[in-house]
Amino acid sequence: MQISDRPHSPLQTTAVAETLTTPPPPRIATVKRATQETQVSVTLNLDGTGICQVNTGVPFLDHMLHQISSHGLVDLEIQATGDLEIDDHHTNEDVGITLGQALAKALGDRKGIVRFGHFMAPLDEALVQVSLDFSGRPHLSYGLEIPTQRVGTYDTQLVREFFMAVANNSLMTLHLRQLDGINSHHIVEAGFKAFARSLRMAIEVDPRRAGTIPSSKGVL
List the chain domain ranges: 28-209
Handedness of CA 35, 46, 118, 59 (dihedral sign): negative
Band (72; pLDDT cuts 50, 70, 90): very high
pLDDT at residue 8, rounded to an integer: 52
pLDDT in tens, 73-99: 999 999 999 999 999 999 999 999 999
CB atoms within 10 A of CB 181: 23
pLDDT in tens, 178-198: 999 999 999 999 999 999 999
Residue 155 has pLDDT above 90, yes or no: yes
What share of the chain has pLDDT > 70, as a percent?
90
pLDDT in tens, 6-56: 555 555 444 444 444 566 789 999 999 999 999 999 999 999 999 999 999
pLDDT at residue 24, rounded to an integer: 74
pLDDT at residue 19, rounded to an integer: 45
Band (57; pLDDT cuts 50, 70, 90): very high
Residue 1 has pLDDT above 50, yes or no: no
Yes or no: say if 63 and 78 are a contact pair by the CB < 8 Å rule: no
Residue 142 has pLDDT above 70, yes or no: yes
In angstroms, the CA 12 to CA 10 distance is: 5
Q: Tell me whether residue 78 is exposed, middle or buried, using C-beta atoms within 10 angstroms of its C-beta: 0 to 12, 13 to 18, 19 or more.
A: buried
As a whole number, mean pLDDT of residues 126-143 equals 98
pLDDT at residue 10, rounded to an integer: 52
Band (217; pLDDT cuts 50, 70, 90): confident
Residue 174 DSSP symbol: E
pLDDT at residue 23, rounded to an integer: 67
Q: What is the CATH number of domain 28-209?
A: 3.30.230.40
pLDDT at residue 219, rounded to an integer: 80
